[in-house]
Structure 1
């Protein structure tokens, strides 16, 4: 989207400059990590950390772009939630119709001339309503569109494959198939490629692992990503279609669609913005705004449309233009409401339920299958894209009164909240609440059914809040009940559409609401009283009485009350505050990742900081333990032998592997350490080159697994732990891994398996041995290899005992007491004390390395700059 630089405020420029500095620092950090002079200090974590720094640079650049764009309020919700009227009344002037301006043409009435006909969910793109100035469009091409990129197309098709396809019916690609695909494409790589960069594929990997990280299919891709980063920039479109077909299950219809869309993008010079004649929108039948136009995908459509970009123009199938359009800009003719002076309104297509179909059958048997699958994936991805780009500052979330069918919506909203307000109540406390929950169809609660006789007046409203908020969004996420520490989400609004007659309670003169029906006023008062008596009313509405009354306001339905409160937050400083907090989070995350390689001269200060981090992690682990989830957490930290087998097999075949992942009530008090003695670690063991290669692959895979686990949004949610605590655990375990030189010990273990066997046989054995050695480090933190006197002590009955002490062997019932021994409690206490010792050892250790003062100073300068802002 083009930005008028004259409209950029000094505060925006200042923040954008800080973002640019952050991206530069991320690049400097990546180069420091990759520098051979720091190889000993960084160890096998090099590739994982370089990748994280490159992703940090991408995030900083996104925030930089967001900083100079206007604030946006988005209207979103499930399909058919009643948001269309809300959008219309927000975008139109207080009197008169909503009119759209197009260069060289008379204004058009958006509702009667542009908006698709019908009550169904009719659009598959975002509509931006803006009163802000924008540059002129080319003569004869007044319709301004923001397009999908080639990277977006790949993500849309992947989103469709994973969320609309039944994964149990899909074949997970084997290591042999992936290796053969990469080998074939490597012979065709050359200078004819272009369009995608190494960073683009890194962004693609991050999207797939964040969104579909629990999928066995994504795990199986292994080192495909590393190979794809090297290949993609040097492949033509046909080569890229074969390379990325792995991301949508190899379905031929999706591959052909990718080729059609990517070819059109290439032909127009890979533009961000394109222009079309007015015929793209009018007449409404066949408009690119109408999802029915997508029926022409795959070659059935005959209608063409000329499209112009800065690189020239092309005549393309209308269905292709509709598919590639991410956003339509509507410039408002008449002076709208005051908040449009700084804010754009984004109308998102309604979220749709995902189908979970057998894609191969569905695509071959249904004539409209390509349209339906692409549309669902595109609608879901557009929301993901605007969230990732920090484009959506505030949201009006519309929810209707019924069973909620869009199972993916709660996760989508939680992702937006985490991205804009913060992932925890503490983080959200730092800024204003910009999420408005609009409970639509308010008038439906005044229809009394036969079963309502004798019920409490507030019961229907309690049921509504349960269905639309607490039971829907609050089932898997905490924000409805814990928006900030000790305070629930409190920004709910009732809303009804006056265009739909509420004849049970309101009298009309034509379409104009005259008064509430006299005979119904007593019942309305009764229901209002019942609502006011609900504890949930005061908990989730700032002013419950006014919210109720405003929704019954004649010819209004509550919109004035919503606008009144929305106008208070439609300020540029709100957007900039939001972005500053996210940039601050990013800089702190970068510093935390790099700090482990900086050798501080102040060891005591380092100890204080790491002990504090460990204590915070223990606090966050307490509810996990009480819920019986500690075992699941350890399992998630461990690496699965089956996944490791794919990596080792690739090494045996000479193609490499990558970073697999793990899959996803007791009540007692766990002893937590304060001061514990130090313990030694296993020394280095040399191994032959072949065993060293296998050991290195296994260690790198585990490092990647832990790194991905700590950065994956789904893992903390699944395990019930904060992302910060998971990161602390991963960081300390990785430092322990580096100090203990586990790779050499593993190579020594593998010597026993270096017999001449088939790769399939050897890989399974090597993977099992490697997983056993690596996962043992999770289980006993390396202390199981030490004699008991050298281990830290933990409280026990009658005193202390060495952690992870073996249970005594008895041959009769004499050791069995009346109460069972709390073995789980004892193990977790031992693990806590062991982890605390690991934290202290990590803090004071330099891994036996000679510190390169020049390189250490170079890293220190990066860290100091990151922490300065």
Structure 2
């Protein structure tokens, strides 16, 4: 792995982004005269847009300072850890904002009484930054697409999807798209790009993959191309399908989007001090603070206040813009707190700390009438409560996708159980992004996940009077380890195996020192020693703690963890800080970003674009021979998983059913304002061009059967391209990704070469019956399609070739492929056809089929010579693609 500087990594990623942009333009220019490229064009463009999003995010992440996130299921414990690590020598988190010196705990942090009282992220930093005495508060804001993500999150997780009175309706979607296309603007409207909509699509897939499969056929491909050209009002209508057409959400989206537009799309604004504190009787006090979640309750209420902020744009601070305090509370992602004094821990002079608000339980609303029911109480604001839950949930996801922090401290109280169930998924996502997707990749670096079990003083106090037998029940799988770790997270692979053959065990025990406890003696506010009366009990506790198997599994060096936690006036903080100093290294972060650079380049080039690039036509035959041999060498070592491999190459029956049931797209009115560059089809959902300014007579002339056959090939080919990305499948089968990618590419070439689409058309021809509803035909038609697909995957086309013309089997010597043995080979038969004696050795029909299939695959690959995807593009187009590949592969310098 190369060692990059931050600047080099930024250049490399921006080069990938630019290459992806050029590749999208190349596809749009070439696809019209390249049928096979056209079949995969929408999938390729989607992949390129996703890669461009990743490249932009990681180019930014490479230049950011090293950051540690604190994610609390224990709010009090989290606050104490941050104060202990980032405070100055006087023990305070102090900051200078304008003319005032503030103590974070006293002046800014809202009193929560143990509960999470804020709804934004706080960044503590010693990094130099610009300041303005009149506008001292630096706030990071959401952008427009993130507002859509928050409302979608709220609808999915706060509304009971089994009971809510809303369902996907294809006709409603089609009518909506037709109507919005008619209102398409002559130029793009700022605030949203095609890539933003792709990120929204990806977000919904992660949260509601099942429901999004239907929308992937028609809604999403159209939304990607259409949304940037719509007014904010029309975008709100387009995205309202993502939150069940709930009017209150749609109106709030409109309001927030218009506010962001008035702010010039700024991601950072400067605010006056009074958004945090005001001066009363010579003292600074919290009043109307955006840090307090209660401010959000004023949204759309008469007691909301107006405040001015200055957008920070490329040319400096812009003129003040007025908005309501509740709006600012909702739109704020992060408050930047510049630390005034040097930190007690030298590490945090160069490392930022992020304090995340704790997750909240979701509501499970069963009806959209919830708003009417709740607003009968004048003090209630159901919209604010729902926005808060969606926002807090989204915040951690946002920082995860942007890879803002490569070290995360998860704080869980040792003495109580969390009732929040939704944390595991987002934590799993953060691990995959920043630590690695599997145990092998995670083993390359020290663990960036740090588990801090807090409030050990309370836990020990409540266990002091228990017997040895009872103590053996309080630590491990039935006690502390269960409630803090395994009950909510034990089913995740990383908890079971962080590194090969080793469970996650990077766990630290922490207590708050200088608190009155029965087992530590105090003098003048300091801890001076263990209470001699409780020492025998503490020793017994330690003994049972160390002997517990779950403790040994999930806490590394448990004896050190216990002793450090009891360290006087420290409580385990020194040991935790020492570990953070070893792992919070920028080189580790850059190494992980560089790994993803390599993965992204491989995925774009070897997994996608290289299939269309012809390097040297004269060598194609020899190249195919090498490809076939390389694939067979790998596959023959995994013959025991051959059945699973074949199944993985066949699309899901349900996907074909949904495709068949899709409504025939409506022809939309001509739009002379639509430029050629903006035209895009519905991808695998239809051949109809939604935004074309001319009707397509060839499509209108096709029967539903013919259109279905075309769409099946598109769906199947694009599905095959996703198989190498399905790590759960490929890991189970045990095949390396490059092998699967090459196999898929050759199968797709054979599908085109053998004209499987034509075979589907023939099978489906004249099978639909006039007057019979489509839902009555779907099972029959999908079965016909699957018979063709299954035959191809099973026999590789050789079932249509006479035995005399098939290659010869190497396993069943002397016989053509897939012909089976002679009748007398495995047994002896009488003249009347009755069996009278078996041979001494049985014949393995499974082995015969598998090895014939492998030989057939090799011959199929050799027969693909001259039919590669790149054959349909010109020399000039091929040269242009080669330049694009070089752009992605190499840095801009």
- Runs of at least 5 residues in structure 2 that lack an aligned partner in the other structure: 278-284, 313-317, 375-379, 670-679, 686-698, 824-833
- Matched pairs, number: 822
Q: Does 1:389 align with 2:396?
A: no
Q: CA deviation at 1:153?
A: 0.3
Alignment partners' CA distance in 2, 1:595 and 1:578: 25
Alignment partners' CA distance in 1, 2:474 and 2:628: 51
The answer for the alignment partner of 2:371 in structure 1 is 363
The answer for the alignment partner of 1:563 in structure 2 is 577
Alignment partners' CA distance in 2, 1:163 and 1:586: 31
Q: CA deviation at 1:141?
A: 1.7
The answer for the alignment partner of 1:123 in structure 2 is 118
Which of the numbers 252, 258, 262 marks the counterpart of 1:263? 258
Which of the numbers 403, 415, 425 marks the counterpart of 1:411? 425
Q: Does 1:329 align with 2:346?
A: no
Larger CA deviation: 525-534 vs 772-781:
772-781
Alignment partners' CA distance in 1, 2:176 and 2:306: 36
Q: CA deviation at 1:385?
A: 1.3
The answer for the alignment partner of 1:4 in structure 2 is none
Q: 1:800 to 1:471 in 2, by over 3 A?
A: farther
Which of the numbers 441, 465, 475 marks the counterpart of 2:481? 465
The answer for the alignment partner of 2:566 in structure 1 is 552
The answer for the alignment partner of 2:201 in structure 1 is 205
Which of the numbers 522, 534, 540 marks the counterpart of 1:508? 522
The answer for the alignment partner of 1:46 in structure 2 is 41
Q: Does 1:845 align with 2:853?
A: no
Q: 1:732 to 1:398 in 2, by over 3 A?
A: farther
Q: 1:611 to 1:152 in 2, by over 3 A?
A: farther
When the two structures are superposed, what TM-score results if normalisation uses the length of structure 1? 0.84
Contact 2:475–2:548 (CA under 8 A) maintained in structure 1: no
Give CA-to-partner distance per residue, 1:687-740, whole Å, 9 cap, x none: 984454332223223344455666578988999999888767765654443343
Q: 1:620 to 1:848 in 2, by over 3 A?
A: closer
The answer for the alignment partner of 1:15 in structure 2 is 9
Alignment partners' CA distance in 2, 1:727 and 1:354: 41
Larger CA deviation: 638-647 vs 432-441:
638-647
The answer for the alignment partner of 2:692 in structure 1 is none
Q: CA deviation at 1:591?
A: 1.8
Q: CA deviation at 1:156?
A: 0.9
Alignment partners' CA distance in 1, 2:866 and 2:884: 22
Q: Does 1:640 align with 2:655?
A: yes
Larger CA deviation: 691-700 vs 603-612:
603-612
Q: 1:702 to 1:285 in 2, by over 3 A?
A: farther
Q: CA deviation at 1:499?
A: 6.5
Q: 1:751 to 1:545 in 2, by over 3 A?
A: same
Q: CA deviation at 1:295?
A: 1.1
Q: CA deviation at 1:559?
A: 1.3
The answer for the alignment partner of 2:305 in structure 1 is 303
The answer for the alignment partner of 2:350 in structure 1 is 342
Q: 1:294 to 1:314 in 2, by over 3 A?
A: same
* Corresponding residue SS for 1:75: strand
Give CA-to-partner distance per residue, 1:432-455, whole Å, 9 cap, x none: 321112122323442338875524
Alignment partners' CA distance in 2, 1:373 and 1:718: 40
Query: Within 5 A, what are the aligned runs for 1:556-635?
Result: 556-592=570-606, 593-599=608-614, 601=616
The answer for the alignment partner of 2:503 in structure 1 is 488
* Corresponding residue SS for 2:766: helix
The answer for the alignment partner of 1:147 in structure 2 is 141
- Runs of at least 5 residues in structure 1 that lack an aligned partner in the other structure: 1-8, 661-685, 809-813
Contact 1:172–1:217 (CA under 8 A) maintained in structure 2: no
Alignment partners' CA distance in 2, 1:618 and 1:274: 61
Give CA-to-partner distance per residue, 1:539-598, whole Å, 9 cap, x none: 444432211111112232211111111112222222211211111111111122223333
When the two structures are superposed, what TM-score results if normalisation uses the length of structure 2? 0.81
* Cα RMSD (Å): 4.2
Alignment partners' CA distance in 2, 1:62 and 1:524: 50
Greater gyration radius: 2
Q: 1:400 to 1:617 in 2, by over 3 A?
A: farther
Query: Within 5 A, what are the aligned runs for 1:624-773?
Result: 637=652, 640-647=655-662, 649-650=664-665, 689-690=702-703, 691-707=705-721, 711=725, 733-753=747-767, 757=771, 760=774, 764=778, 769-770=784-785, 773=788
Q: Does 1:354 align with 2:362?
A: yes
Alignment partners' CA distance in 2, 1:156 and 1:513: 47
Alignment partners' CA distance in 2, 1:772 and 1:274: 60
Larger CA deviation: 740-749 vs 127-136:
740-749
Alignment partners' CA distance in 1, 2:373 and 2:41: 48
